[in-house]
Amino acid sequence: MRNGQILRGEVIQQTATTMQIKMEDGKVKQLNKKEIQRVSYKEPTAQEKKESEEKIKQQSTIVEEPPPPTPEPTKKSELEGDKGASPYTIDQAKRKDLEIYFGAGLGTYRPATENYLDHVSAKAGNLTGATPMQVDDPAYKRGLAYSLGAIYYWKKFAFGFAANHFAGKTSERMTVYGGNSILQEFHGTFPERQNSLKLDVSYLAFSNQRLDIRPSFGYSQFWGKTVDNNTTANEYYANSLVSVMKFNYDFLEILKGPSVGIKATIRFGERWEDRVELHYLSLTGAQYVGAVNNTATTDGTYFDYYRSDLTTTWTAKGFNFSNKLFYRWTYTISFWVGIQLFEWKYSINSMGQRFQGLGDITSPPTLDVVILSNLMLQTVAKSTAAANRASSLEFGVMKRFEFSQ
């Protein structure tokens, strides 16, 4: 045999890989031919017997295998090996960590500010028989958008904080057609911006290797700001400029309310994941408008100052959609690209106006005129559609802090 052992017996059967021999004691032994060094049909010599005995003795004294490891250490070693082979694997149901993210890009903000009031004025003018007005659709220019936030995971719960900023420029144009060849053109370009804060809590309702689903409940607040010091109006009579008006508008809107929604995370391998969020918004709030109008004729014979303060209370129903694609650069740092969208429609509860000009000082309007004007304004406002839309495309980075170890 290859291990030095010598077996004696009668060959009774063999195949291409095995051999059966009948030993001297009558027992049948099957051998694998890979273990056989040589088959001899004669007695071994004295030298062969001596070499066989020395080889067997040497193997029995030198070869001493250590005891096999216990099952528990082996299992532990395998777990440590798995962990080292996949450092990006996170147990979603047991995680305790904090994610902080920031992103920036371009966005648009389309609120219900001057264009909405222009449509209200046009409808009110038609009802009172005033000169007709043509209100063109505004043009929007993209501006800076950014977002930042943090998410703390504690077992199956997640607590989130998010802040968003949208900015852009709006260009308005309105034309008033009067009788006797009178024409007024209003136009202006001004900046607008919106900021928001949201707190939410979500729960891991479903999770596997590829997908996580979390129902979410939150509370949001929005601040919209528009400052227009650029809008002007020129009045023409028979193609001749007769007067110039300069407007200063200041819009401030505050909305707040709860949101309910769902968050989903879809994983593609170890390093890529897509996070999708959809939330339903139910908001209430008000918009405050301060408008100043200075009018002067080109010949310098007339000047007037007029101020109007407008307060609108309304509710808003809409949604917030977010989709961010993450790439895990390291175990704790990720880069992402994503889109963000806020959109809602308003339902007017009330609208009231307080106005005062130089002529009102000597001849103030009567109370019934003020009441009727506000009643008509409120009725027209409720029948005029108003909406808000803010969107962005952003690139960002996220840092993860692990607390479970």
Is the distance from CB of 264 to CB of 276 less than 8 angstroms?
yes
Quick count: other Cβ atoms within 10 Å of Cβ 216?
18
| CA 358 distance to own-chain centroid | 51
Tokens describing residue 331: 């175990």
CB-count exposure of residue 168 (10 Å: 0-12, 13-18, 19+) = buried
Q: What is the 8-class DSSP label of residue 373?
A: H
Q: Which 8-state DSSP code applies to residue 33?
A: G
Count Cβ atoms below 10 Å from residue 135 Cβ, excluding itself. Answer: 21
* DSSP-based three-state secondary structure for 269: coil
Write down the H helix ranges in 24-175.
Answer: 46-62, 71-85, 114-128
pLDDT tens-digit map of 129-165? 666 788 889 999 999 999 999 999 999 999 999 999 9
The DSSP bridge partners found for residue 259 are: 218, 281
Element (H, E) at 349: strand 333-357
Task: Copy the structure tokens of residue 43.
Answer: 């007695």
Residue bearing the bigger pLDDT, 305 or 233: 233
**Residue 315: Cβ within 10 Å count:** 16
For 188-222, what is each residue's pLDDT tens digit?
999 999 999 999 999 999 999 899 999 999 999 99
Angle between helical axes of 367-382 and 114-128 (0-180°, round to 10): 120
Q: How far apart (Å, rounded) are the C-alpha atoms in residues 282 and 278?
A: 13
pTM over 0.85: no
Question: Which token pair is 55?
Answer: 């080889």
Distance CA 374, CA 380 (A): 10
Q: Does 62 have pLDDT greater than 60?
A: no
CA distances for 48 relative to 32, 55, 274, 401, angstroms: 22, 11, 74, 72
Domains, the chain, in order of start with CATH, read 1-66 (no CATH), 85-402 (2.40.128.90)
Query: Among residues of the chain, what percentage have pLDDT more than 70?
Result: 86
CA dihedral 294, 299, 301, 302 (to 10 degrees): -20
Of 72-81, 217-226, 313-322, least confident by mean pLDDT is: 72-81
pLDDT of residue 83: 44
Do 352 and 380 meet the contact criterion of CB atoms below 8 Å apart?
no
Average pLDDT over residues 27-39: 86
pLDDT band at 82 (very low <50, low <70, confident <90, very high): very low
Q: Which of 65-74, 231-240, 289-298, 310-319 shows the lowest mean pLDDT across its residues?
A: 65-74
- Average pLDDT of 3-10? 84
> Up-side HSE of residue 96: CA atoms within 13 Å toward CB?
3
Q: How far apart are CA 244 and CA 185, in angstroms?
A: 10
Cβ contacts of residue 110 below 8 Å, gap of 6+? 138, 140, 168, 170, 387, 388, 389, 390
Could you give the CA distance from residue 156 to residue 149 in angstroms, rounded to a whole number? 19
The DSSP bridge partners found for residue 159 are: 152, 201
pLDDT band at 370 (very low <50, low <70, confident <90, very high): low
Give the three-state DSSP class for 55: helix
**Distance (Å, rounded) from C-alpha 200 to C-alpha 163?**
12
Nearest-angstrom CA–CA distance, 263 and 203: 9
The total of other beta-carbon atoms located within 10 Å of residue 338's CB is 22
- By DSSP bridging, strand 157-178 and strand 139-154 are antiparallel
Q: What's the token pair of residue 105?
A: 């890009």
Give the DSSP H/E element, type plus range, for residue 361: helix 358-362
